[in-house]
């Protein structure tokens, strides 16, 4: 008998019919002899509706405490309905909101972090043969105020509960079959991965793959909980996200990702003096603009170029801020918001030189100019002109991940 | 500086605009130098929507614990939105759900009874100059399970909070101007009462006046909290519901009420033996049917007639049950579900004979036949043919409550 945590997102519980399907699915796992704790999100559209109400009455920045009181009702609604559906199917079930399982967080409303979970009540219910149905995304601070973990926080709730219960696996149900080597809408030959390491998953998520929330993968990695990303619409095995050592014989490159929500800004003729970078990036950070890549060219004749990327929504504001700095330090500014970031991710890169150069070569063969490059131990990202995104992703997928690729390796 | 509890029902907070109006209204009371705790219901329509979902997934009898988890989200939504609206208007406000103010109840889900309230957090917020915005209708049992007080329970929440805080008054805001001598839609000359005693209010509520929930009036009477029933759409004084001794010089008759949700069933030729009544009413009570009036005629030749009334929705089921009993005891049954109950209520009746006979006389003058009669210290109810309801109510109102009425007395 295994103890399984299953997490279903908003699309999986979008209406009465789907909630009933989720109930059936969960009970099939129970019937197979397992104990199951289910973590659910708000019904699709529910949270957006609540946020719209908050904006109408509380303005653009509604009070964070009250915002959390409001949006947490979404998950509360789902847990009651799902528990009812299971009871109707003849299996005991019991709902829990954050406060009821002592899901303690810090007091950072709208983006709280989990500090502890009291599993006593959950264990009792599970031991009685009932399904525990838990509201994701929410907790309480030390004073009993309702908190939320931020968008996508239900993944994190699920992992935290799996850790606390010492569950055998945390299954993340979604509307795709698992983690793919690339976006199947763009790359017809993209295929589902059987296994991927936590660290690759984190890179892929931060580089544009939307299947899992990064924070939840970090949490799972830290505590060694296996994640299983799978479809709520079929019974197929999905993708297991596991420790590196369990991805023996992993692929050289596990995935090709892209992100079009990118813009770049360049300062030219910056005097190469200590403190210049701080001078540029402090006002951006004060304005809440998250900077992604930062590239500084080697200094020639005492002046240098600094280029950075940020998300496209911040482009205009970032440009205005940097323009001001540039005027003050006698530099000039230009920018471009029709760029994309394309990345290859893979544990194999750690031990094998030449992956980056092969990537550059493939892009060159396809006439795609590289504007910026950033690398880590297990990924290489390049910034290119946005119109080349599709061609770049397809060429890289063909080169690294399809039959006849330069260094094909058996999947584990 | 007074401490005022204000309760707003679902219609008063039905949409964003109305929530904003309620916020303004509450803050006007604050600006006048008062401390205010506000108790709110779910936005109109919200609870019905949740109940419909519960039926779809949980069937006709969804699990009561989960039902409470579900429907309590309605009030939680309102408190957050109302608190945001007040903050936007520049006044601090803080929302509380049942659990957060220690609104302890028994474990009778969907119809829980309040046992205690922890006022420490409320007092702190009020002393800081903030408005406490409290979710009505809900509490928690000793194990932290969410409970609800049943439909209309927000009135009871408000009164209980007023009692716990030792408030100066509990204001119940509604969509009418106060308590009227009769239904203004039926009686154009019906007028608003300035004061009415708790006991009259209880009789009037149980006899068809829908402005206040009986349970909340009983609660207020027991603890001596003055209620002020008033309109949320204007600034007029409404009706004060107060102890009897404060309704000096009260009206002889304070109101004429009617209730069309009535049906009667008669057993004829019942052997007048001990235990016969129990034989008839035990199976009805077992079936959850609430019987209102019971009239047993004097026995002649050893057999008797028993007639009782129940609500119209229970008529068919009650008839079937009684039919069975009748067959067993050799009696016959008939019934009628096109009847109405018309009542006059007034403290004055206690000390003045002749009110009931004047009532019968007025009805006779208008050609209205009386089928059943029931009296208490402060009310007389008659059952008549439903088609006569309007004529009866108008005639009684003219006779007892309009200029030139038989015993006009000054309102206090």
Residue among B19, B76, B97 minimizing CB distance to A57: B19
| Residue with token string 């308590």 | B179
pLDDT in tens, A49-107: 999 999 999 998 999 999 999 999 999 999 999 999 999 999 999 999 999 999 999 99
Give the separation between CA B251 and CA A47, rounded to whole angstroms.
Answer: 53
Instruction: Identify the pLDDT of residue A405.
Output: 65
- Please tell me the distance from the alpha carbon of residue A102 to that of residue A118, in angstroms, as a whole number: 5
Closest CA in chain A for residue B77 = A70
Q: Are strands B93-96 and B131-135 parallel, antiparallel or unpaired?
A: parallel
Contact B69 A80 (CB under 8 A): yes
Closest CA to B205 of B174, B246, B162, B164: B174
Contacts of A276 (CB under 8 A, 6+ apart): A270, A306, A329
User: Which position has the higher pLDDT, B412 or B311?
Assistant: B311
Contact criterion met (CB < 8 Å) for A100 and B144? yes
- CB contact under 8 Å between B59 and A20, yes or no, is no
Number of H helices, E strands in chain A: 11, 18
Q: Is ipTM strictly over 0.95?
A: no
Helix axes B214-223, B153-165, angle to 10 degrees: 10
Q: Which pLDDT does position B410 carry in this prediction?
A: 37
User: What pLDDT is recorded for position B209?
Assistant: 65
Q: Enter the tokens of residue A330.
A: 């006698």
8 Å CB contact of B67 and A80: yes
CB of A152 within 8 A of CB of A203?
A: no
Dump the DSSP string for B356-405: HHHHHHHHHHTTPPP-EEEEETTEEEEEEEGGGHHHHHHHHHHHHHSTT-
Q: Are A127 and A111 in contact (CB under 8 A)?
A: no
Domain borders along chain B are 3-175, 256-401
- Residue A298, pLDDT score: 65
Query: Which chain B residue has its CA at the smallest distance from A68's CA?
Result: B80
User: CA A311, CA A259: separation in Å to the nearest integer?
Assistant: 10
Q: Collect all residues of chain A within an 8 Å Cβ-Cβ radius of residue B50.
A: 77
Give the pair of three-digit tokens for residue A130. 């009932």
Interface test with A, best of B26, B52, B57 (most A CBs within 10 A): B57
* More confident site: B19 or A215: B19
Interface of A with B (CB under 8 A): 16, 19-20, 50, 53-54, 56-59, 62-63, 65-67, 69-70, 72-73, 76-77, 79-85, 87-88, 94-95, 97, 99-100, 144-146
Report chain A residues whose CB lies below 8 A from the CB of B69: 76, 79-80, 83, 95, 97
Q: Note the pLDDT of residue B292.
A: 86
What count of CB pairs under 8 Å joins A to B? 111
CA distances from B143 to A81, A165, B139 (A): 21, 21, 11
Q: Please give the backbone phi and psi of residue A183, each rounded to the nearest 5 degrees, phi first.
A: -70, 115
Give the pLDDT score at A221.
93
Interface with A, mutate which of B80, B98, B144 (most A CBs under 10 A):
B80
Residue B379 distance to chain A (closest CA, Å): 44
User: What is the distance, to the nearest Å, from the Cα of residue A409 to the centroid of all Cα atoms in its chain?
Assistant: 27
Whether A67 and B57 lie within 8 Å, measured CB to CB: no
Nearest to A80 among B70, B76, B99 (CB): B70
Query: Which of A67, A76, A85 is the closest to B69 by Cβ?
Result: A76
Chain B residues whose C-beta is within 8 A of a chain A C-beta are 16, 19-20, 50, 53-54, 56-59, 62-63, 65-67, 69-70, 72-73, 76-77, 79-85, 87-88, 94-95, 97, 99-100, 144-146
Average pLDDT score over residue span B255-276? 86
pLDDT computed for residue A176 by the predictor: 87
Q: What percent of chain B has pLDDT over 90?
A: 68
Instruction: Specify the 3-state DSSP secondary structure of A182.
Output: coil
Judging by beta carbons within 10 Å of its beta carbon (0-12, 13-18, 19+), is residue A249 exposed, middle or buried? exposed
**Can you tell me the distance from the alpha carbon of B289 to that of B350, in angstroms, rounded to the nearest whole number?**
31
Positions of chain A with pLDDT lower than 70, given as ranges: 151, 207-209, 248-251, 298-300, 351-353, 404-412
Q: How far is CA B351 from the centre of its chain?
A: 26
Give yes or no for residue B195 having a pLDDT over 70. yes
Q: How far is CA B107 from CA A344, B55, B60, B198, in A?
A: 57, 22, 21, 28
B57–A81 C-beta distance less than 8 A: yes
User: Predicted confidence band at B338 (pLDDT cuts at 50, 70, 90)?
Assistant: very high
Contact B70 A88 (CB under 8 A): no
This model's pTM is above 0.90: no
Kindly report the nearest CA distance between residue B118 and chain A, in angstroms: 14
Q: Token pair for residue B277?
A: 């009544």
Q: A76 vs B80: CB contact, 8 Å cut-off?
A: no
Residue among A65, A70, A83 minimizing CB distance to B63: A83
- Contact criterion met (CB < 8 Å) for B73 and A76: yes
C-alpha distances (whole Å) from B249 to each of A77, A341, B410 are 52, 84, 7
Chain A closest-CA separation from residue B20 CA (Å): 7
Question: Which of the four pLDDT bands, split at 50, 70 and 90, describes residue B44?
Answer: very high
Contact between A87 and B56 using a beta-carbon 8 Å cutoff: no
Identify each DSSP E strand in B126-232 by its residue range.
131-135, 138-140, 146-148, 169-174, 195-197, 227-231
DSSP letter for each residue of B317-361: HHHHHHHHHHHHHT-EEEEEEEEEEEEEE-GGGGT-TTHHHHHHH
Q: For residue B102, what is the nearest residue in chain A, using CA coordinates?
A: A144
Its sign, for the CA torsion A189, A193, A197, A202, is: positive
| For A22, nearest residue in chain B (alpha carbons) | B57
Residue with tokens 């003849």: A90
pLDDT digits (tens, 9 = 90+) for B64-76: 999 999 999 999 9
* Closest in A63, A72, A84 to B87, CB measured: A63
- What average pLDDT does the structure give for chain B? 90
Domain B256-401, CATH among 3.20.20.20, 3.40.50.300, 3.20.20.140, 3.30.2130.10: 3.30.2130.10
Q: Are B8 and B38 in contact (CB under 8 A)?
A: yes
DSSP 8-class letter at A212: S
Helix, strand, coil share (%) of chain B residues, nearest 5: 40, 25, 35
CB contact under 8 Å between B67 and A50, yes or no, is no
Print the SS3 string covering A7-67. EECHHHHCCHHHHHHHHHHHHHHHHCCCEEEEEECCCCCHHHHHHHHHHHHHCCCCCHHHH
Degrees to nearest 5, angle at CA A224 with A218 and A229? 70
Picking from A58, A83, A144, the nearest residue to B84 by CB comes out as A58
Write down the pLDDT at residue B257: 92
Gap between the Cα atoms of A56 and A50, Å rounded: 10
Q: How far apart are CA B57 and CA A348, in angstroms?
A: 49
B182 pLDDT tier (thresholds 50, 70, 90): very high
**DSSP-derived pairing of the beta strands B195-197 and B239-242:** parallel
Closest chain A residue to B140 measured between Cα atoms? A100
For residue B84, the chain A residue with the least C-alpha distance is: A58
Return the residue matching tokens 């000054």: B410
Sign of the dihedral through C-alpha B99, B100, B105, B111: negative
Neighbours of A44 (CB within 10 A): 15
What's the whole-number mean pLDDT along residues B201-210?
Answer: 78
Q: Are strands A169-174 and A227-231 parallel, antiparallel or unpaired?
A: parallel
Name A291's Cβ contacts closer than 8 Å, sequence gap at least 6: A281, A284, A285, A308, A309, A310
Q: Which residues of B touch A20 (CB under 8 A)?
A: 57
Q: In CATH, what number does B3-175 get?
A: 3.40.1160.10
In angstroms, the CA A373 to CA B48 distance is 57
- Sheet with B372-376, side-by-side order of all strands: B291-296, B303-310, B255-271, B332-345, B379-385, B372-376
Q: Reduced to 3 states, what is the DSSP secondary structure of residue A342?
A: strand
Contact A63 B53 (CB under 8 A): no
Sheet holding B239-242, edge to edge: B93-96, B131-135, B35-40, B3-8, B169-174, B227-231, B239-242, B195-197
Asked if B54 lies within 8 A of A95 by C-beta distance, the reply is no
Which chain A residues are closer than 8 Å to B85 by Cβ? Answer: 57-58
| pLDDT tens digits along B344-397 | 998 877 766 678 888 989 999 999 988 888 888 888 899 999 999 999 999 999
Half-sphere exposure of A261 (CA within 13 A, CB side): 10
Cα–Cα distance measured from residue A72 to residue A51, given in angstroms and rounded to the nearest whole number: 11
User: Closest-CA residue in chain A for B73?
Assistant: A73
Q: Please tell me which residue, B86 or B183, carries the higher pLDDT value.
A: B86
């Amino acid at each position: 008998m295994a103890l399984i945590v299953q997490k279903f997102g908003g699309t999986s519980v979008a209406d009465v019919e789907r909630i009933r399907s989720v109930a059936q699915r969960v009970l099939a796992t129970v019937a197979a002899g397992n104990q199951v704790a289910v973590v659910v999100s708000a019904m699709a559209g529910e949270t957006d509706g609540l946020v719209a109400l908050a904006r109408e009455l509380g303005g653009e920045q509604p009070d964070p405490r009250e915002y959390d009181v409001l949006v947490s009702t979404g998950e509360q609604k789902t847990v009651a309905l799902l528990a009812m559906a299971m009871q109707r199917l003849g299996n005991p079930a019991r709902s829990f909101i954050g406060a009821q399982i002592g899901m303690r967080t810090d007091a950072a409303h709208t983006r709280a972090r989990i500090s502890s979970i009291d599993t006593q009540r959950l264990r009792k219910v599970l031991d009685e043969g009932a399904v525990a149905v838990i509201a994701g995304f929410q907790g309480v601070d030390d004073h009993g105020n309702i908190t939320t973990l931020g968008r996508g926080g239900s993944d994190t709730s699920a992992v935290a509960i799996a850790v606390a219960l010492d569950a055998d696996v945390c299954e993340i149900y979604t509307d795709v079959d698992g983690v793919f080597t690339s976006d199947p809408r763009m790359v017809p030959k993209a295929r589902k991965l059987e296994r991927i390491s936590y660290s690759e998953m984190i890179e892929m998520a931060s580089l544009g793959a939307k299947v899992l929330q990064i924070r939840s993968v970090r949490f799972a990695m830290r505590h060694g909980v296996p994640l299983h990303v799978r479809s709520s619409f079929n019974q197929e095995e999905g993708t297991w996200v596991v420790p590196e050592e369990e991805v023996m014989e992993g692929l050289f490159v596990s995935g090709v990702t892209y992100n079009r929500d990118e813009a770049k800004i360049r300062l030219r003729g910056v005097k190469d003096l200590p403190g210049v970078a701080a001078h540029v990036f402090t006002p951006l950070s004060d304005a809440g603009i998250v900077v992604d890549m930062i590239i500084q060219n080697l200094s020639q004749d005492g002046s240098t170029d600094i280029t950075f990327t940020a998300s496209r929504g911040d482009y205009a504001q970032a440009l205005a801020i940097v323009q001001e700095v540039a005027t003050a330090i006698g530099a000039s500014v230009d920018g471009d918001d029709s760029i994309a970031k394309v990345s290859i991710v893979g544990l194999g890169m750690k031990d094998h030189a030449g992956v980056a150069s092969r990537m550059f070569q493939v892009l060159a063969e396809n006439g795609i100019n590289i504007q910026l490059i950033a690398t880590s131990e297990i990924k290489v990202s390049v910034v290119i002109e946005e119109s080349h995104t599709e061609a770049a992703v397809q060429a890289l997928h063909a080169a690294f991940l399809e039959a006849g690729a330069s260094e094909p390796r058996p999947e584990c």
